[in-house]
Amino acid sequence: MLSNIKDLATKLAPRLIEIRRHLHSHPELSGQEYQTAAFVAGVLSSSGLQVQEGVGKTGVIGELQGIGESNRILAIRTDMDALPIQERTGLDFASRASGIMHACGHDVHTTVGLGTAMILSQLAEELPGKVRFLFQPAEEIAQGASWMVKDGAMSDVTAILGVHVFPSIPGGSVGLRYGALTAAADDLEIIIIGESGHGARPHEAVDAIWIASQVITTLQQAISRTQNPLRPVVLSIGQINGGRAPNVIADKVELKGTVRSLHPETRANLPAWIETIVANVCNSYGAKYEVNYRQGVPSVQNDYMLTQLLQSAAEEAWGCERVQVLPEPSLGAEDFSVYLDYAPGSMFRLGVGFKERPTNYPLHHPQFEVDENAIITGVVTMAYAASKFWNTNAS
């Protein structure tokens, strides 16, 4: 099966690069992936998959029925949306949409999904069960996975695989991680209400700006003293608004931030922990407060057996020297985690860094580029893992 997959992938390579460049030139923002979805649906239909459009608003599902009788369904998820960034790569196939760019590699992900579907459709008689390809919209706003799930994308799914490009791994290599891959990302809003007064008479007022600064400082110090250092928490206040004039004491300050964590139990305790600190500081100085904590996407926790499946597929396909087990998770977020509430899964990192370049631009950078050789690496790894799925006990 592996040699068949590799042969088919080699034949398909020029077409896949063409597809990726087409997608790259025509990026669409989260929730507006209309042309991308139509394009994806077209490729899937012409490969003989059963296609459903408009799943999760602008998402697409393609199903490939193998000839076997297994009722274990494997889902393969790729995302399709781009970012509000003005591209500055200078490539021939750079974005033609002003202010929109595939700067997170979702054009590569979509291509890997399509390439895997094209290859497996030619090997359907060797598949014991069904593969369901999820082409998800709106990952960048952390909404698309929930939309897909709401429309039934995960019904009867046994396991799910995903992929994300990674510029700090060289093109052609694969990165795996057992357990936590990305962080839970929650939104935090704190409102501090003091009492206005003359800047020259602070004792007659309750200075919301000064109290806000105490809240921020106390939160940052308290993380280091009260959170388990082996269970990371990152709290970043990215926005602060308050005050009306230089000589008027502010009566209201709004703080907005993001809270990242890896462990579900740590995460569950964070809202109460934050509220206690805010309350203690505000009570000490006579301010009122409001804390609004909104849970965003959970941490991606890669399943052990499915990560092993990906690792053995990648190692058999490319040799151990091109496969690395990543020592660290990322505190970035990825809504692939939303699917993992419904079935176990694993997401691998696809190296897209240029070996010959001393530095590769990071994800979300206007000059972000990918080594396109990675597309074949991604497609073969995914297709081979899929073909082996029914032979494993994974889930």
Residues near Ni ion, by CB under 5 A: 104
CB nearer to Ni ion: give 130 or 349.
Answer: 349
Distance separating alpha carbons of residues 309 and 313, to the nearest angstrom: 6
**Taking CB positions, which residue lies at the least distance from Ni ion?**
104
Q: Which residues 6+ apart lie within 8 Å of 217 measured at CB?
A: none
Residue count of the chain, please give it.
395
CB nearer to Ni ion: give 104 or 160.
Answer: 104
From the number of C-beta atoms within 10 Å of its C-beta (0-12, 13-18, 19+), residue 222 rates as middle
| Helix (H), strand (E) at residue 208 | helix 208-226
Q: What per-residue string of b and e applies to 242-279 under the rule 16 or more CB within 10 Å gives b?
A: bbeeeeebbbbbebebbbbbbbeebbeebbebbeebbe
Nearest distance, CB of residue 20 and Ni ion, angstroms: 15
CB nearer to Ni ion: give 194 or 353.
Answer: 353
Nearest distance, CB of residue 319 and Ni ion, angstroms: 27
Distances (CA, A) of 14 to 26, 111, 278, 326: 19, 12, 57, 30
CB nearer to Ni ion: give 289 or 348.
Answer: 348
Nearest distance, CB of residue 219 and Ni ion, angstroms: 28
Nearest distance, CB of residue 168 and Ni ion, angstroms: 14
CB nearer to Ni ion: give 104 or 291.
Answer: 104
Q: List the 157-170 sheet strands across, edge first.
A: 50-55, 59-65, 130-136, 73-79, 157-170, 345-353, 174-176, 323-325
CB nearer to Ni ion: give 166 or 389.
Answer: 166
Nearest distance, CB of residue 110 and Ni ion, angstroms: 11
Task: For residue 325, list its beta bridge partners.
Answer: 176
Nearest distance, CB of residue 248 and Ni ion, angstroms: 44
Q: What per-residue string of b and e applies to 33-51 under the rule 16 or more CB within 10 Å gives b?
A: beebbebbbebbeebebeb
Nearest distance, CB of residue 211 and Ni ion, angstroms: 38
CB nearer to Ni ion: give 61 or 104.
Answer: 104
Nearest distance, CB of residue 63 and Ni ion, angstroms: 24
Distance separating alpha carbons of residues 301 and 151, to the nearest angstrom: 23
3-state helix, strand, coil in the chain (%, to 5): 35, 25, 35
CB nearer to Ni ion: give 94 or 142.
Answer: 142
Nearest distance, CB of residue 217 and Ni ion, angstroms: 33
Query: Nearest Cα to 190, choosing from 261, 251, 279, 250?
Result: 279
CB nearer to Ni ion: give 104 or 149.
Answer: 104
| Helix (H), strand (E) at residue 176 | strand 174-176
Distance separating alpha carbons of residues 120 and 125, to the nearest angstrom: 9
